[in-house]
Amino acid sequence: MRSFFYRRKFIFIPFGIVAFLALISFVVMNLWNYLLPGILHVGVITFWQAMGIFILCKILFGFGKGGHRGGAPWMRHGMAEKFKNMSPEEREKFKQKWEEKCSHGRWGHRHNWDDFAQEAPGKTTE
């Protein structure tokens, strides 16, 4: 008896996904058509274009699991796997490299801040 209801639940999942996608597309279309033509002077869009925009945004920016930082989901998963397979020494070395990169003004560029102070007009270093 339980397996009958269990299988039946999976029949409704695709309908729920389609209904959710239709609702979100309708909301995107209405928000776009209400706000953007007046603000950015763009044309109005159809329901199908709104659905395409929504799907494109989900592909580009990820489907989100909430609370995670970092790039797209497929990138986070790869880094997590790589980090899990490292030895403790390799992890510490990796963390130090990232701290070095993030603590400087630009990624991958090491700056001597005294050089900037010398180049600044009207400032002297002593």
**pLDDT for residue 50:** 96
**pLDDT for residue 69:** 55
Spatial separation of the C-alpha atoms in residues 9 and 15, rounded to whole Å: 11
Residue 96 is encoded by which pair of tokens? 């130090």
For 17-31, what is the mean pLDDT? Answer: 95
User: Sorting pLDDT into bands at 50, 70 and 90, what band is 26?
Assistant: very high
Spatial separation of the C-alpha atoms in residues 94 and 100, rounded to whole Å: 10
Q: Measure the CA dihedral 117/122/125/126, to 10°.
A: 180
For 19-41, what is the mean pLDDT? Answer: 95
pLDDT tens for residues 40-90?
A: 999 999 999 999 999 999 988 887 665 545 555 556 667 777 777 888 888
**pLDDT for residue 119:** 47
**pLDDT for residue 74:** 59
Spatial separation of the C-alpha atoms in residues 43 and 36, rounded to whole Å: 8
Query: Would you mind telling me the total number of residues written for the chain in this entry?
Result: 126
Residue that the structure tokens 């003004």 belong to? 105
